[in-house]
Structure 1
Amino acid sequence: MSTVDNTPRWLAVAALAKIKNGAYSNLQLNQLINEHRMDRRDINLLTNMVYGVIQHRLTLEFWLKPFVRHPYQLDPWVRELLLSALYQWQYLDKIPQRAVFNETIEIAKVKGHPGIRRFVTGVLHQMDRSGLPAFDTIEDPDERLSVTYSMPVWLIQELRQQLGATKMEAIIASLNQPAKQSLRVNTALSTVSDVTTALTNDGLTVEPSKISPLGLVVTDGQAINTEAMRYGMFTVQDESAQLVVPALNVQPGDQVLDACAAPGGKTTQIAAELDADAGGEVVALDIHANKVRLIGQNAARMHVADRVAATELDARKVQTQFDDESFDRILVDAPCSGLGLMRRKPEIRYEKQLQDSLNLQKIQLAILAAVAPTLKKGGIMTYSTCTILQQENQDVIAKFLADHPEFELQTTPTEQDLKADRTDKTLSIYPDDYLSDGFFIACLRKK
């Protein structure tokens, strides 16, 4: 095997070619990191390149187009090699252009035939001589925004219509910034102070979250490789996602339904608030058996398995196994388009269409309608999504309330009193607000 096969640049190109065929970026990266021995610097470069090329794909393709007449007739790895060279050249200031071009040509030489090496060399040198096309040559303003921020036109138009032009542009600009490495402390086992100390002693740099009182943000180092992670003192969870469970106001002896639970992050957060000796339990549903096992594994790692009943069941069929008024609290963390996660999973932006949100709305409403009878009178049902479109958020709540007058909307609370001046009772966290994931949370009380 040549030395090229183990460089972060070649591994990034190989990953990008697979991601274009449907593989998820985070899964591809984790697999490569596990298979190849790399130091922290190489892991950082690999991660930066993979996410960077995906995030800026429309921009990079715009720059490449004048130099490659039919880019999609190229082998996928050759196309991704040229896009990754463009990304490094334009976005990674600390890497000299000469180094980028030299290694790109070396990869083309080793992985392809002489014709590919000559082709790649010629494209790079022509780009260098001619310069890259400017965004202001694009006449249509929405297409210009799409290329500038590498965001689909339909989403730009939808966000502008819902939130206004200024907020729309702030959101799409923020989504190309790196995702934070955020953690949630497991209060069943530890404290924020103890986890901070443990990670600091392992050489990591950690700061408290400004969004969640249980959150920590790692600014240097990899938390997943620590003993504290293996022991279950914390779990990896975005700061916005940590706000959902506190909105339920779980009590130690409550019977709780987590209707769409996998992989179990919010399940374990609920369980940490429960007391098994007082009868507290969270029933965690998922439709797939392998995901139910994953919920159980996460509950065991977080030392809360005695309070979790992982169950294989479609939430829309919950009444086949549970009586009316069985639960004190219900969480519907609904299946959604995931558009609030574009910073963390950048490929989502290219895979979704508006119709996906409209189709999901039907499923979201069906789940809410199915679980609603199982909530006790006076109980709280929290609905949440990790998307930023009102079709899956405010519209769902409005339609549910219109059909279920026995429920009333309450103001979503947060311990940090986030967005205290908002007029809506629901809570919308947009990706530009705190540089966390986009999230929506609504609290419904059964009269």
Structure 2
Amino acid sequence: MQNNPRLLAVKTLSKISNGAYSNLQLNQVINNSNMSNLDIRLMTNIVYGVVQHRLTLEFYLDAFVSNQNKLDAWVRELLYSAIYQMEYLDKIPNRAILNESINIAKQLGHAGIRKMVTGVLHAVINKGLPSFDKIKDNVKKLSIKYSVAEWIINELTQQLGLDKTISILESINSPSKQSVRFNSTLTDKNTIKNELESEGYEVEDSIVSNNGLLVSKKSAAKSELFKNGKITIQDESAMLPVDSMQFKPSDCVLDACSAPGGKTIQIAEQLDNKLGGKIYAFDLHEKRLVKVKENAKRMHVDAVVQTKALDARKIDKEFDDEYFDKILIDAPCSGIGLIRRKPEIRYEKQLSDVKHLASIQLDILNAVACKLKHKGVLIYSTCTILNQENVDVVNAFLEKHPEFELLQTDKHLIINNKNQEKWLRVFPDDFNSDGFFVCKLRKI
């Protein structure tokens, strides 16, 4: 059973429940197995599905197990994965899920555990799962139904209203799309679409970013085009901060919070080192900058990328005032906009984290402001959808810095019709992409 996708899913989920990161653990298991593409997709679906729906699955299992905490981690994850398949994967018959689950219990445990798993799953099939209607508190009901922490629901409802909140909650448990950005210095959209299709991918244009494409059928990381730097994997929304900037090939640019380097590379593609173009990529830790360097080399733009391990709040010691033509601050944030892609965020983050991060974001803005040249443009962006880290931070910055003005953030394609605010807010339900905030400021 060493290549059994359900068994490997249970083992992976057990490690995730003990603190491992889902994406890293999943990739490790896949790389060490000999599973077919079909089995890899099933395993990935089960792992992310169980993590996404954990609060819901806990609620379901409570109806059949008196104390889940007494179960071994792998037994609990086995039951969650079985219930997840029964409830959410309609193409797999219950008898197949039951048989596979019993075999895994037999493989990993003793006869008593096998009997218990058999009994619980038979009860689930015979009695059906409990209704959410028994939950009287509306916020708690939404939390259990969509498997999102109550504080997130409270904040979203207060800021966006109940209807928009429910729309976001319904969208974040749908599968993530696989999007890539093509390297405009090496190729063009039509050429890259044809090359991807010749490799067996299904390809469609992004409606969010001009340089984005949606690909399916297999992992984009396995494409020769990825290996030779013609494409890179990047969410559509994550392309928008750089899309909203206009560069001269000779610009000196700062990416104040760069790792893993997706936006750094996107900027670097528009610079020319022969004309003096350069981008300084900061990050707190040197080891995180290794990925930036690797990506820059793969995408053939390393000549204009200069990395530096530096806290952007301490930039005053390193650079003169009015040094940069353009600055990007893709600030460290709670990542609430990434919940679909990184489901653990919905359980790990607290409101106190949001308030702490907002303070750091404002400190970074305040620190780098004097390093921007007269009439230079600064883009502030985050991958969260909460006002505390977005609108509130920008307003606090502008109040302290009258030498900056708020510009209309450039918007692209269908987004032109979605938002009339000067800043750009993309929510997870707008285009089934990551949630993002982009704001454009100019020094006057």
| TM-score category, normalised to shorter length | over 0.9
| Residue 136 (structure 1) aligns with | 133
SS across alignment from 2:244: helix
Contact 1:204 1:220 in 2 (8 A): yes
Contact 2:157 2:165 in 1 (8 A): yes
Aligned match for 1:97, one of 72, 84, 94: 94
Q: Return the alpha-carbon distance in structure 2 between the equivalents of residues 250 and 79 of structure 1.
A: 53
Aligned match for 1:22, one of 8, 19, 27: 19
Output the amino acid matched with 1:415.
Answer: H
Q: Return the alpha-carbon distance in structure 2 between the equivalents of residues 189 and 22 of structure 1.
A: 41
Task: Decide which moves more: 418-427 or 435-444.
Answer: 418-427
SS across alignment from 2:387: coil
SS across alignment from 2:179: strand
| Residue 81 (structure 2) aligns with | 84
| Residue 356 (structure 2) aligns with | 359
Query: Is residue 12 of structure 1 aligned with residue 9 of structure 2?
Result: yes
SS across alignment from 2:389: coil
Task: Decide which moves more: 178-187 or 143-152.
Answer: 143-152
| Residue 39 (structure 1) aligns with | 36
Aligned match for 2:279, one of 277, 282, 300: 282
| Residue 62 (structure 2) aligns with | 65
Contact 1:199 1:223 in 2 (8 A): no
| Residue 384 (structure 2) aligns with | 387
| Residue 194 (structure 1) aligns with | 191
Q: What are the Cα deviations for residues 174-195 of structure 1, in whole angstroms up to 9, with x where unaligned?
A: 0000000000111122222222
| Residue 103 (structure 2) aligns with | 106
* TM-score (norm. length: structure 1): 0.98
| Residue 213 (structure 2) aligns with | 216
Q: What are the Cα deviations for residues 21-60 of structure 1, in whole angstroms up to 9, with x where unaligned?
A: 2211111111111110111100110111011111111111
> 1:206: how far off?
0.6
Query: Is residue 334 of structure 1 aligned with residue 331 of structure 2?
Result: yes
| Residue 225 (structure 1) aligns with | 222
| Residue 170 (structure 1) aligns with | 167
Q: Return the alpha-carbon distance in structure 1 between the equivalents of residues 33 and 257 of structure 2.
A: 35
Output the amino acid matched with 1:213.
Answer: N
Query: Is residue 248 of structure 1 aligned with residue 255 of structure 2?
Result: no
Q: What are the Cα deviations for residues 228-272 of structure 1, in whole angstroms up to 9, with x where unaligned?
A: 110010100000011110212121110000000001100000000
Aligned pairs for 1:228-377 (under 5 A) are 228-377=225-374
Q: Return the alpha-carbon distance in structure 2 between the equivalents of residues 420 and 207 of structure 1.
A: 21
> 1:220: how far off?
2.2
Aligned pairs for 1:414-425 (under 5 A) are 414-416=411-413, 418-420=415-417, 422-425=419-422
Q: Return the alpha-carbon distance in structure 2 between the equivalents of residues 349 and 136 of structure 1.
A: 23
Structure 1: unaligned runs, 5 residues or longer: none
> 1:126: how far off?
1.7
Contact 2:208 2:414 in 1 (8 A): no
| Residue 161 (structure 1) aligns with | 158
Question: Percent of pairs identical after alignment?
Answer: 54
| Residue 179 (structure 1) aligns with | 176
| Residue 435 (structure 1) aligns with | 432
> 1:90: how far off?
0.8
Q: What are the Cα deviations for residues 298-347 of structure 1, in whole angstroms up to 9, with x where unaligned?
A: 10000000010011111111111100000000000000000100110111
Q: Return the alpha-carbon distance in structure 2 between the equivalents of residues 235 and 314 of structure 1.
A: 26
Contact 1:248 1:331 in 2 (8 A): no
SS across alignment from 1:67: coil
Contact 2:411 2:424 in 1 (8 A): no
> 1:417: how far off?
5.9
| Residue 117 (structure 1) aligns with | 114
Output the amino acid matched with 2:118.
Answer: T
Q: What are the Cα deviations for residues 362-413 of structure 1, in whole angstroms up to 9, with x where unaligned?
A: 1001111111110001000000000010000000000000111110110110
Structure 2: unaligned runs, 5 residues or longer: none
Task: Decide which moves more: 336-345 or 137-146.
Answer: 137-146
Contact 1:81 1:104 in 2 (8 A): yes
Query: Is residue 402 of structure 1 aligned with residue 399 of structure 2?
Result: yes
SS across alignment from 1:243: helix
Q: Return the alpha-carbon distance in structure 2 between the equivalents of residues 242 and 256 of structure 1.
A: 17
Q: Return the alpha-carbon distance in structure 1 between the equivalents of residues 23 and 299 of structure 2.
A: 22
| Residue 149 (structure 1) aligns with | 146
SS across alignment from 1:391: helix
Output the amino acid matched with 2:132.
Answer: F
Contact 2:362 2:397 in 1 (8 A): yes
* TM-score (norm. length: structure 2): 0.98
SS across alignment from 1:229: helix
Q: 1:216 to 1:421 in 2, by over 3 A?
A: closer
Contact 1:171 1:430 in 2 (8 A): yes
Output the amino acid matched with 1:442.
Answer: C
> 1:123: how far off?
0.8
Q: Return the alpha-carbon distance in structure 1 between the equivalents of residues 11 and 150 of structure 2.
A: 28
Output the amino acid matched with 1:30.
Answer: N
Q: Return the alpha-carbon distance in structure 1 between the equivalents of residues 357 and 416 of structure 2.
A: 27
> 1:137: how far off?
1.1
Output the amino acid matched with 1:284.
Answer: A
Task: Decide which moves more: 246-255 or 262-271.
Answer: 246-255
Output the amino acid matched with 1:55.
Answer: Q
| Residue 423 (structure 2) aligns with | 426
Aligned match for 1:50, one of 15, 38, 47: 47
Contact 1:58 1:150 in 2 (8 A): yes
SS across alignment from 2:104: helix
